[in-house]
Amino acid sequence: MLSKLLFIETLGCAMNSRDSEHMIAELHEKEGFVTTEDYKEADLILINTCSVRERPVHKLFSELGGFNKHKKKGAKIGVCGCTASHLGEEIIKKAPYVNFVLGARNVSKISEVLHKDKAVEIDINYDESEFAFKDFRSSPFKGFINISIGCDKSCTFCIVPKTRGDEISIPDSLIIKEAQRLVGAGAKEIFLLGQNVNNYGRRFSGDHEKVNFAELLRRLSKIDTLERIRFTSPHPFHMDDEFIEEFSSNPKVCKSMHMPLQSGSTKVLKDMKRGYSKEWFLNRVGKLKTMCPEATISTDIIVGFPGESDEDFEETIDVMKQVQFDQIFSFKYSPRPQTEAEHFTNVVDDEVASDRLAFLQSLNNEIVDTNHEKLLGNTYRVYFETLHRDGHVAGRSDNNIVIKVNGSEELLGQFRNVKITTIGRTILTGEVIA
Ligand code: 5AD
Ligand code: SF4
C-alpha cells in the first residue's frame, strides 16, 4: 500500500518542535503517514503555530490561503499549536476549508481529530503529562524530552499560559525511560524542555515523590552512555543556590545557561510580573560566573514594554554591559490578546521602540565580537550534529559555541577536540586535532 503523505510546518519554540515530532510519530504509527517536503503532494497539511508575537498570526491566514489553493484534491488541512489554542473556532470561521484545529495542549489527539471534520480540540486543562508518545526524532544525535507542560506564571506580556494551560511536571520515571530509550538508540545528548524547567516538580498530576530539577538532573546523569544534558528554559526567579550548584558541578550538564532577563529595570520587571529584580538577576549571574566561569549565558529581552522610559531602557543596557551575554534574542513588545499588558495604556512610541531595539542589537554585536576574539586558538570538545552541503560539519561545544570544520558524515554523532582557527559572529571555524 502507498503511504499517505504528511507535510508539516513548525513555527515557534523547541516545545513546538517536540510537539511536531509527537504528531509525526502518532500519524505514522496509527495512520501510516510519512513526511514530505512538498505540500502540493501531501494528503495532510499541518501547520504547528506560535502566538508569542503578533506577526506570525497574520502570516498564518495568508499561508493557509496558499495551502488551500495549491493543495492536492481531497487533502486535509489542520492548524495546531499555540495559535490554534487561542483562536480556536475563529480559524475555521475565517478559513472554512480548514478541517480541524488542535491546541498546543492536545497534540496527543492528532489521530482522533483527523477523522472528525471541523473538530476543534483546544482544552488547556487536558492532561498530557503521563501520555506515552511514540518515538519520532528529527535528529538521531540528540533527543528532545518534555519534562513539564504548561506554565504557571502570569507574566503580563505573555500569552503562553492561555495557550498551554497550567504547569504540570511529567513523572521522572517517564523522563528517565525516554532518555534511556534515546541513548539506547544512539543519542549522546538530551535536551530537556519546559516553560520553566527549574520549577520542575512543583505539581504532578498524580501522587509523586518530591523531585526538583536539580534532583532530576542528578538522576538523569546516572545513565551511563548519556554524555550531555541541555535544557531550556530556566526562569531567573527559580535560580536558587541548589540549581546553580548542580548546574556547575554536574559534568554531564552542558555549561550554557539561558537566563531570560526581559528587562533590566526593576520597575518594568514589576509591571511584567516577572517576580525578580535587577539586583536578583545580577546576583544570580554573579553566583553562576563565580561557580562556573566557563558557562556561556544567553537571554531574551523585550524593548518598548508599556511604560518603559529612557531610564528604564538604560537599566537594561547596564545589565547587558555587566553580564556581557554571549547571545541575545531581542524583541519589540507586541501586545497579545488575553494578557494583562494588552490593556496597559502607557504605550511606547513604535519608533522609540525600534531605535531601542537597534541600539541593543548593535551593542550585543560588539559584545559578541569581543567575546569571540578571545576564543581564537582555544580548543573545545565538539559534538558534531549537522552536515552542510558545502563540505562542512557543524557541532557544539559543551558551552554551546557552534563550530564548523571541514569534514564528512563520519564525524556526525562523534566527539572531537577542535581548535578554533577563524572567528565569525554566529559561527566559528576550526580544525579537528584529536
Ligand atoms: N512581545 C514581545 N516578545 C514577547 N515574548 C513573549 N511574549 C512577548 C510579547 N508579547 C518573548 C519573551 C520570551 C520569548 C520566548 O518571547 O522574551 O522570553
Ligand atoms: Fe512556544 Fe510560546 Fe510560541 Fe507557544 S507561544 S509555540 S509556547 S514560543
Task: Decide whether any atom of ligand 2 lies within 6 Å of the 80 Cβ.
Answer: no
Distance from the CA of 155 to the center of ligand 1, in angstroms?
10
Grid coordinates belonging to 244 = 546553580
Task: Kindly list the distances between the CA atom of residue 185 and the CA atoms of 18, 188, 189, 333, 395, in Å, as whole numbers in the listed order.
Answer: 17, 9, 11, 42, 19
Q: Is the pLDDT of residue 162 over 80?
A: yes
Grid coordinates belonging to 215 = 534532583
- Which ligand is closest to the CA of 56, given by its number? 2
Q: Whose CA is nearest to atom 13 of ligand 1?
A: 300
Q: Is the pLDDT of residue 5 over 70?
A: yes
* Residue 311 burial class via C-beta count within 10 angstroms: exposed 0-12, middle 13-18, buried 19 and up: exposed
How far apart are alpha carbons 91 and 104 in whole angstroms? 15
Distance from the CA of 71 to the center of ligand 1, in angstroms?
33
Distance from the CA of 434 to the center of ligand 2, in angstroms?
40
Residue 253 pairs in a beta bridge with 229
Distance from the CA of 40 to the center of ligand 1, in angstroms?
33
Task: Decide whether any atom of ligand 2 lies within 6 Å of the 15 Cβ.
Answer: yes
Strand ranges across the sheet with 44-49: 33-35, 4-10, 44-49, 76-81, 100-103, 119-121
The model's pLDDT over 108-124, given as tens digits with 9 standing for 90+, comes to 999 999 999 999 999 99
Question: What is residue 263's three-state secondary structure?
Answer: coil
Distance from the CA of 10 to the center of ligand 2, in angstroms?
11
Tell me which fold the domain 4-121 belongs to: Rossmann fold (3.40.50)
Confidence of residue 103 (pLDDT cuts 50, 70, 90): very high
Grid coordinates 563565580 are at which residue?
290
The model's pLDDT over 217-264, given as tens digits with 9 standing for 90+, comes to 999 999 999 999 999 999 999 999 999 999 999 999 999 999 999 999
Buried b (16+ CB within 10 A) or exposed e, 98-135: bbbbbbbbbbbbbeebbeeeebbbbebebbbbeeebee
Task: Decide whether any atom of ligand 2 lies within 6 Å of the 13 Cβ.
Answer: yes
Mean pLDDT estimate for the chain: 95
Q: Whose CA is nearest to atom 3 of ligand 2?
A: 50
- Which ligand is closest to the CA of 263, given by its number? 1
At the fourth CATH level, which superfamily is domain 142-373? tm_1862 like domain (3.80.30.20)
* Residue 428 burial class via C-beta count within 10 angstroms: exposed 0-12, middle 13-18, buried 19 and up: buried
Q: Give the percent of the chain with pLDDT over 90.
A: 92
Name residues contacting ligand 1 (CB within 6 A). 52-53, 157-158, 260, 262, 300, 302, 331, 333-334, 336
The model's pLDDT over 165-177, given as tens digits with 9 standing for 90+, comes to 999 999 999 999 9
**Whole-model pTM?**
0.95
Task: Kindly list the distances between the CA atom of residue 208 and the CA atoms of 159, 171, 172, 202, 222, in Å, as whole numbers in the listed order.
Answer: 29, 7, 9, 10, 20
- Which ligand is closest to the CA of 334, given by its number? 1
Distance from the CA of 311 to the center of ligand 2, in angstroms?
30
Q: Whose CA is nearest to atom 6 of ligand 2?
A: 50
The model's pLDDT over 44-99, given as tens digits with 9 standing for 90+, comes to 999 999 999 886 667 889 999 999 999 999 999 999 999 999 999 999 999 999 99
Distance from the CA of 258 to the center of ligand 1, in angstroms?
14
Count Cβ atoms below 10 Å from residue 346 Cβ, excluding itself.
10
Kindly state the average pLDDT of the residues 18-24: 94
How far apart are alpha carbons 367 and 374 in whole angstroms? 11
**Are 234 and 285 a contacting pair, CB within 8 Å?**
no
Greatest Cα pair distance, the chain, in angstroms, is 66
Grid coordinates belonging to 147 = 519534562
Asked if the bond preceding 233 is cis, omega within 30° of 0, the reply is yes
Closest ligand 2 atom to residue 51 Cα is: 5
Distance from the CA of 86 to the center of ligand 1, in angstroms?
16
CATH tag, 379-432: 2.40.50.140
Grid coordinates belonging to 205 = 498530576
Domain extents for the chain?
Answer: 4-121, 142-373, 379-432
Q: Whose CA is nearest to atom 17 of ligand 1?
A: 300
* Of 124, 125, 112, residue with least CA distance to 78: 112
Closest ligand 2 atom to residue 104 Cα is: 4
